[in-house]
């Protein structure tokens, strides 16, 4: 990953996705998150303020080290335990049925093999858990 991916893309993500109209959808979506939660495509940590106290631990994955760097400041302010991993979501290093909830916002369009990533999400999720997705043009729980 070069300068553009590690510096410019994270800045653009913050600029484009840290907006009041998006915050409304984040609040609605994250009301359903609880327990041991996995966030794929963590990005710069824009979702952190919207997690409820019902989230005991947050594990995040994102392959862009530039996103990781920008997220560190938000993690310190969040007051939530975050296990941040720099990796893609197509091969998750977690055991089956690990997470109570899986979250993804504005990420699926950037994953090279979305079908494989969703299989991994399914594998790592408890069957009575929930999945919260917010993508371009839709908000679903």
- Domains identified in the chain and CATH numbers: 3-140 (3.40.50.150)
Q: How large a percentage of the chain has pLDDT more than 90?
A: 55
Residue-wise pLDDT for 7-32, tens only, equals 887 788 888 888 998 899 999 988 88
The encoded tokens of residue 17 equal 């996705």
Q: Is the pLDDT of residue 141 over 50?
A: no
Cα 97 to Cα 77, 114, 126, distances in angstroms: 29, 20, 4
Cα atoms in the 13 Å half-sphere on the side-chain side of 34: 6
Q: Is the pLDDT of residue 70 over 50?
A: yes
């Amino acid at each position: 990953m070069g300068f553009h991916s590690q510096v410019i893309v994270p800045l653009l993500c913050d600029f484009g996705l840290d907006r009041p109209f998006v915050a409304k959808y984040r609040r609605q979506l994250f009301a359903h998150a609880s327990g041991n939660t996995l966030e794929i495509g963590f990005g710069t940590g824009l979702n952190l303020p919207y997690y409820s106290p019902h989230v005991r631990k947050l594990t995040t994955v994102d392959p862009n080290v530039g996103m990781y760097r920008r997220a560190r400041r938000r993690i310190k302010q969040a007051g939530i335990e975050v296990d941040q991993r720099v990796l893609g979501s197509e091969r998750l290093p977690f055991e089956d049925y690990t997470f109570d909830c899986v979250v993804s916002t504005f990420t699926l369009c950037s994953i090279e093999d979305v079908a494989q990533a969703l299989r991994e999400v399914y594998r790592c999720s408890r069957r009575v858990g929930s999945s919260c997705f917010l993508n371009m043009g839709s908000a679903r729980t």
